[in-house]
Amino acid sequence: MSDAGSRPRLKLGGHLLPGLAAVALFAVLAIVFLQASFGEPAGFPEGASITASIGYAMFNVDTGILSETVVSGEGFVVAFILIAIVLDVAIDGAVFLAKREEDGRIGGVLADGGREIRDALRGGDD
């Protein structure tokens, strides 16, 4: 960094430039997908209740004993329980982060790599 105090930043005029990466990615994906060939879709059986089927799948209900027409699906009960915990955790974490601290700075821990001290000592950014 030649001039002190200048943080690396995205250049204003060229801020769309990295977007080209996304375009390139799309190009690659498109080429691949256009080459794919598909058979006939299996589709859902007539009269099947998709919503109900999703429900059965979600709770691993043994659809064999049901009389109605269901669309088969893998069991998601584990995922369901897990997602409950995930949301729990997300709330827990989000709330913790959002809380305002009353007592100012936390502890004596300096987890910024000692930069604060260094900057204070040198009187500036490097």
Partner 1 sequence: MEPLLMQADQLPQWTALAPALALGLTGLLLILIDSVDPDSSRPALLAGIATVGSLASLGLAGWFLSAGTGQAGTGGGISLFGDALVVDGMALFFQALFASVTALVVVASYDYLHDHPHRAEFYSLVLFAATGMALMAAANSLAVAFIALELASLPSYALVAFLKRDAGSVEAGLKYFLIGALSSSVFAFGISLVYAATGSLLLPDVYAALSGGVEGLTGVAAVGILMVAGGFAFKTASVPFHFWAPEAYEGAPAPVSAFLSSASKAAGFALAFRVFVVGFPLDAGIDWVLLFQVLAVVTMTLGNFAAATQEEVKRMLAYSSIGHAGYALIGLAAFSGGAGGDVLGASMAHLLVYGFMNTGAFLFVALAEHWGVGRTFDDYAGLASRAPMASVAMSVFMFSLAGLPPFGGFFSKYFLFMGAIDAGFWWLAAVGAINSALSLFYYSRVVKALWLNDAVGEFELGSTPTALYAAIVFAAVATVLLLPGFAPVIETAQSVATTIVP
Partner 2 sequence: MVPPQYYLLLAAAVFCIGVFGLLTRRNALLFLMSVELMLNAANINLVAFSYYWGNVTGQTFGLFTMALAAAEVAIGIGIILVLYRNFHEIDVTEATTMRW
Partner 3 sequence: MAGIFDFGPAIVLLPFLSFLIAVGTALSGRDLLPKGGAIPGIAATAGSLVLSVAMAAAVAGGEVYDETIYTWAVGAVPGSDGLELTFGLLIDPLSSMMLVIVTLVALLVHVFSLGYMNDDGETGLPRYYAGLGLFTASMLGFVVADNLLMAFMFFELVGLCSYLLIGFHFREPGPPSAAKKAFLVTRFGDYFFLIGVVAVFATFGTAQFVGTEAAPGFPVLAEQALAGEFTANTFLGLGTEAWFTVVGLLVLGGVIGKSAQFPLHTWLPDAMEGPTPVSALIHAATMVAAGVYLVARMYGFYAVSPTALGVIALVGGFTALFAGTMGVVKRELKQVLAYSTISQYGYMMLALGAGGYVAATFHLLTHAFFKALLFLGAGSVILAMHHNENMWDMGGLKDKMPVTYYSFLAGSLALAGIFPFAGFWSKDEILFETLIHGLDGQPLLLVGYVFGLLAVPVTAFYTFRMVFLTFHGDARTEQAESPESVRWNVKGPLVVLGTLATVAGAVNLAPVRVLTGAHVDFLHAWLDGGFSDLTVHHYAEIDPYSSAYIGGELTTVLLGAAVSLGLALLGLGLAYRLYAVPEPVEHTDKLGSAKDLLYDNYYQDEYQVYLANRVVLPVARAADTFDQGVVDGAVNAVSSVSLFSGSRIRRIQTGVVSNYAALVTLGLTALLVVFGVLGGWLL
Q: Catalog residues that contact partner 1 under the rule CB under 8 A.
A: 29, 32-33, 35-39, 60, 74-79, 82-83, 85-86, 88-90, 92-94, 96-97, 99, 101, 103-117
- The Cα 47–Cα 68 span in angstroms is 9
Which C-beta is closer to partner 1: that of 13 or that of 42?
42
- The Cα 75–Cα 56 span in angstroms is 8
- The Cα 57–Cα 79 span in angstroms is 11
**One symbol per residue from 102 to 121: x for binding partner 3 (CB under 8 A), - otherwise; what is it?**
--------------------
- The Cα 60–Cα 104 span in angstroms is 50
- The Cα 48–Cα 42 span in angstroms is 13
Distance of closest approach, residue 78 Cβ to partner 2, in angstroms: 11
Count CB neighbours of 27 within 10 A.
Answer: 10
Which C-beta is closer to partner 3: that of 8 or that of 64?
8
Distance of closest approach, residue 28 Cβ to partner 3, in angstroms: 5
Q: Longest Cα pair distance anywhere in the chain, in angstroms?
A: 77
**One symbol per residue from 42 to 71: x for binding partner 2 (CB under 8 A), - otherwise; what is it?**
xxxx----x--xx--xx------------x
Q: Is 18 in the site for partner 3 (CB under 8 A)?
A: yes
